[in-house]
Every structure is written in C-alpha cells, then in structure tokens.
Amino acid sequence: MELTGKRVLLTGGTAGIGEQMAHQLKVKGAEVIVTGRSLKRLEAKRKAGFEAIEADLHTPLGAERILQALGDRELDVLVNNAGQGVDHDFREKVPDADAADDCIYANLNTPIRLITALVPRLKQRPEAAIVNVTSGLAIAPRAGGPVYCATKAALRSYTQAIRAQLADTSIAVIEALPPVVDTQMTAGRTNRKMAPEECARQIVQALEKGQDEANVGMVKVLKAVHSSSPALARNIMLRF
C-alpha cells in the first residue's frame, strides 16, 4: 500500500507502539487520526499536527465516540492498536473480575465494533486495510497474563476469519504480533524488550507490503517453534 494521502484511524496512538506508528505513518504522507485517554498526550498530538480523539475503549462509549468524531469521512486504514493489560494471577490473590471485563472489552470488543462499523466504508476505497495488533502471546500464552493472552488469541482468530471473508474486497487484513516491547504496559517486566520505534517500523512495513502477518522481532522464533511443536512453544511461554 502506498501510504501517501491515506487517511488512517489509529487507536492508542498517543503512547508506546501507537505513538511511534503515528509519527512514522505521518512521515510517509498519511493523514493520521489518533485516539487515547490522556488529555495531556492528546493535546501534545494535536500540537504535533494530528487529529486526536479522546476515547476510553473499555466501554461501548469509546467506539461510539470515535465513530461520531470520524463522521462520514472516507477512511483508508483502520489500525486497532490500543491494548490494556490486567493482573489476573491466582498465585498472588483472587483476581478482580471487573478489571478482566475492562481488558476483554478494550482488547477484543472495541476492535470488533470498530471493524463492524467501518468495513462498509473501507470497501468503498480502491485500496484499504485493517491492521489488528495482537501479540506473540496470541500464539502461546504466559502463565501470568491469562486474560490478556486470551483476548489477543481471540483477536487473532477473528482476524484470520475476517481475512477470509474479505478476500474478494479491496481490504487487506493484517495481523501484527509484537514481542515484549518497552512501553508503559511492560514497565514492571525485567526481560528483554524491543524498542517501540523498531516494533512500529516493522508493522508499518507490513502494511506497506500488504503482508497477512507481521511477526515482529522474537515472535518470528516463537512462530517457528510453534510450527514444529505447539506443546514446546506453550511450555516455554508458560514459564514467563
């Protein structure tokens, strides 16, 4: 896909991977609309030349707010990047079910709502794309994050299914699977982390090339292990 002149809606575009993607897409000539929750970060994005929409994506109101702000404008690319983690470890304490619901809604329900609302619009464009950012944990989960892993695995399945449904349209459906990236969500993790700039670069490159999947960084290794032995991949990742 040639990104010059494309209008891109990017959720979670004020920090982490999304912030880097927003800047890289803008450099390539795209018009980027970002969403986020922090008023300070949203204002910084507006000063940097982005349209920025305040939206909390763990309730139906988040998607509704985005769609209202978008209005009836044409759209070329939807990037479902926003993600939310949640502590859910019975080894430490009884987890908070309400917090799990928030994570499930933000990571799965909101992308489905946005895709459902925007596919008819994307179909009208000569070249369009949906990019769903899942995780290497969609391939094999880690023991400490079962709800987050489950949402990403579910979004991976949804992405694969709608790719088949939309195969005869102008819409490319791309899944991006990052490794552990150095963001606010992973601040407490001590293992090796990828720089968000490099992660974003590989995702944008996959969008330009129209790849079905962007296995980013060490996820390439995990995918190879899983291809030969799913059980081995699970056993390795469950230790984290």
Q: Is 148 a catalytic residue?
A: yes
DSSP annotation of 57 reads: T
Q: Where would I find the beta strands (DSSP E) of the chain?
A: 7-10, 31-36, 51-54, 77-80, 128-133, 171-177, 213-215
Query: What is the CATH superfamily name and number for domain 7-237?
Result: NAD(P)-binding Rossmann-like Domain (3.40.50.720)
For the chain, the structural domain boundaries read: 7-237
**How many Cβ atoms sit within 10 Å of the Cβ of residue 170?**
14
- Find where tokens 């464009």 sit: 125
Which long-range contacts (C-beta less than 8 Å, at least 24 apart) are formed by 114-119?
114/9, 114/11, 114/63, 114/66, 114/67, 114/78, 114/80, 115/78, 115/80, 115/162, 117/63, 117/67, 118/9, 118/67, 118/75, 118/78, 119/166, 119/171
- Annotated catalytic residue, options 148, 155, 204, 217: 148
Residue 185's pLDDT is what?
65
**What pLDDT shows up at residue 236?**
82
Question: What is the sign, positive or negative, of the torsion defined by CA atoms of 150, 151, 155, 158?
Answer: positive
CA separation, residue 117 to residues 72, 183, 208 (Å): 11, 29, 24
Q: What is the predicted pLDDT for the residue at 188?
A: 62
Q: What pLDDT does residue 182 have?
A: 76
> What local confidence, expressed as pLDDT, does residue 238 receive?
78
Condensed to tens digits (0 to 9), the pLDDT of residues 89-139 reads 999 999 999 999 999 999 999 999 999 999 999 999 999 999 999 999 999
Q: What is the pLDDT of residue 192?
A: 79
**Residues lower than pLDDT 50 in the chain:** none
